Amino acid sequence: MKEPGAEEYSAENAPPLTPEQAIANLNSPDTSLRYYAAWWLGKFRVQSPEAVDALIAALEDEADRTELGGYPLRRNAARALGKLGDAKAVPSLIKCLECPDFYVREAAAQSLEMLRDPAAVSVLVQLLDGGVAAAVQVPGRPHLTQPYEAVIEALGAIGATEAIALIQPFQKHPTPRVQCAAARAMYQLTQDPIYGERLVKMLDSSDLKLRRVVLGDLGAIGYVAAAEAIANATVENSFKLLALKGILEHQLKEELDVSPLSDNAIKVMNLMDSLL
Amino acid sequence: MTNTQHLIRAVAEADSSALMVAAVQKLAAAKDPAAIPTLITVFGYNNPGAAVAAVAGLTELGEVAVPQLLAQIDDYNYGARAYSIRTLAAIRDPRALDILLAAAATDFAPSVRRAATKGLGNLYWHQLDIPERHIAHKRALETLLSISQDTDWSIRYAAIVGLQALAKIPDLQEPIQARFEEMLATDAEEAVRARVQLAQI
């Protein structure tokens, strides 16, 4: 459900910028320069207070509009703020969850997932109002009424156990990616392997893109029991390596201050070696 | 027609992904050098199951497959190229050194670079004459040390795997251990540092 065309830049073909210039460009009369500058500040993780303040201000932009009433600059600013990791952005991102533009709401939910601030929980929960029955496709648009995937993932990452009963039914949502998000969040909120196994099972899907998403989910939740299934999945090695890296990091965090490397960590690395 | 020719024809005529995998597995199991060009061609079919079976078959054939693997590297399809490099790395024949060095250092595709980087540590160096061997060690070491500073974590990870293997050569141990210490102290990625620790066990 990602906005088409988002994140399509690459650092190599971008015009060179400095942080100062990018911050200044956020107020350029040329809206395309603003849009680009917001992306650039996130991409290069410019974490200065000036950059954060300028991006927060850009969340209120009214100048840059699409034909359908979307807010491209707000979308990019919201995405960038997640990458910068400054909690100062949280209240403004929470406000964005009520923006009429679906993609602004989605970007805000994704960034709130990265910032993991419990202050976002109550508004995120509101976006699940109406449950699965309300989570239908918007006529003529390539997305659902709300960015359910991002909202559910954010609630899982933040550890919002109060949302468990609301998230649980989304495992039966007709969209497989929403099912994945629900399983992923349920695992994070309960640590019950039944949800990890549900994701592992989805690695058998015939849809390659979905298999890649599932790998990302398994890496994000650090479900170590999935390591071999990940290594054997029919997906490009780059995706498998990234998922196993997530699992390894999760493992290392849990073992802090114990003997240098656990058997599990070594097992994951051996699998990674085999995928090089 | 020989049995192998039948098996080659089955690969050519496979009209589903699953049939292709089965046909390639059978052809690989024949262990006949006549199958080499067909097995290499399979790398370009964008069928990961079949490609993995072809890698296994060619690796089993070993040295005899090396000249054709070197000659048939696909410069226009990085997916296929990664399988070729992976196979050459697994066979470990030092005739692949130049191709592995170039792929590790300059290929644009990370999958190709990782495979070559891992392979560079593991060649059968004893197959080279002594003066040649020293030069080869030096080139592999220099390239891996340089790659260990790449911006992509997965390339640095692969460099550690390559360097760990290369550290079996007594003359190279000192610079490799020094680089490992440096990476442990400075690398931003926890996964990379953990791999260094594993290499030091």
Predicted-complex ipTM score: 0.91
Report the distance separating Cα B135 and Cα B105, nearest Å.
17
**Cβ separation of A248 and B201 shorter than 8 Å?**
no
Candidates B198, B200, B201: best to mutate against A (most CBs of A within 10 A) is B198
Contacts of B161 in chain A (CB under 8 A): 273, 276
Q: Is B179 part of the contact surface with chain A (CB cutoff 8 Å)?
A: no
Nearest to A265 among B110, B115, B194 (CB): B194
pLDDT tens for A123-153 read 999 999 999 999 999 998 899 999 999 999 9
**Chain B residues touching A267 at Cβ < 8 A:** none
Alpha carbons A213 and A257: distance in angstroms, whole number? 32
Q: What is the pLDDT of residue A168?
A: 97
pLDDT of residue A255: 75
pLDDT in tens, A29-76: 998 899 999 999 999 999 999 999 999 999 999 988 888 889 999 999
pTM of the model as a whole: 0.87
Q: What is the pLDDT of residue A254?
A: 81
Taking contacts as CB-CB distances below 8 angstroms, the residues of chain B near A238 are: 110-111, 154
Contact (Cβ atoms closer than 8 angstroms) between residue A227 and residue A268: yes
Asked if the model's pLDDT at residue A8 lies above 80, the reply is no
Q: Decide: residue A48, CB within 10 A, 0-12 exposed, 13-18 middle, 19+ buried.
A: middle
> For position A12, what pLDDT does the model report?
52
CB–CB contact A276 B49 (8 Å)? no
Which member of B49, B191, B201 has the closest CB to residue A248?
A: B191
- Other C-beta atoms within 10 Å of B187: how many? 20
How many Å apart are CA B7 and CA B26, to the nearest integer?
A: 7
Amino acid identity of residue B60, one-letter, is E
Q: Which residues contact B160 (CB under 8 A, 6 or more apart)?
A: B148, B180, B183, B192, B195, B196, B199
Q: Which of A108, A187, A194 is nearest to A154 (CA)?
A: A108
- A56: tokens are 């927060």
CA distance B106 to B111: 12
Distance CA A218, CA A140 (A): 32
Mean of pLDDT over chain A: 92
Considering only CB atoms, A248 lies closest to which of B117, B118, B194, namely B194
Interface probe for A, chosen from B156, B190, B200 (most Cβ of A below 10 Å), is B190
Element housing B67 (H / E): helix B66-71
* Length reported for chain A: 276
Chain A residue at shortest CA distance from B51: A234
Cβ–Cβ contact B49 with A under 8 A: yes
> CB-based contacts of B95: which residues, under 8 Å, 6+ apart?
B66, B67, B70
Confirm if A227 and A244 have CB atoms less than 8 A apart: yes
Residue A124 to chain B, least CA–CA distance (Å): 31
pLDDT attached to residue A5: 47
Q: What are phi and psi of B148, to 5 degrees?
A: -70, -5
Note the pLDDT of residue A201: 96
The tokens describing A248, both together, are 């390894």
**Sole residue written with tokens 């027609």:** B1
d(CA A50, CA B200): 43
Cβ A103 vs Cβ A69: under 8 Å: no
Residue A6 clears pLDDT 50, i.e. is over it: no
Instruction: Find the radius of gyration of the CA atoms of chain A.
Output: 19
pLDDT at residue A260, as a whole number: 75
In chain A, residues with a C-beta closer than 8 Å to the C-beta of B78 are: none
Note the residue count of chain B. 201
Query: Are B197 and A237 an interchain contact pair (Cβ–Cβ within 8 Å)?
Result: no
Maximum pairwise Cα distance, chain B: 62
Regions of chain B where pLDDT drops below 50: none
pLDDT of residue B104: 96
Would you call B195 an interface residue with chain A, using a CB distance cutoff of 8 Å? Answer: yes
Which amino acid, A89? A
Query: Averaged over A20-24, what is the pLDDT?
Result: 94
B111 and chain A in contact, CB less than 8 A: yes
> Which pLDDT belongs to residue A4?
47
Confidence of residue A3 (pLDDT cuts 50, 70, 90): low
pLDDT in tens, B50-98: 999 999 999 999 999 999 999 999 989 999 999 999 999 999 999 999 9
Q: Does A37 touch chain B (CB under 8 A)?
A: no
Q: DSSP for chain A?
A: -PPTTTT---GGGSPP--HHHHHHHTT-S-HHHHHHHHHHHHHTT---HHHHHHHHHHTT--S---TTS--HHHHHHHHHHHHHT-GGGHHHHHHHTT-S-HHHHHHHHHHHHHHT-GGGHHHHHHTTTTHHHH--BPTTSSSBSS-HHHHHHHHHHHT-GGGHHHHGGGGG-SSHHHHHHHHHHHHHHH--HHHHHHHHHHTT-S-HHHHHHHHHHHHHHT-GGGHHHHHHSSS-HHHHHHHHHHHHHHHHHHTTTSSSS-HHHHHHHHHHHHT-
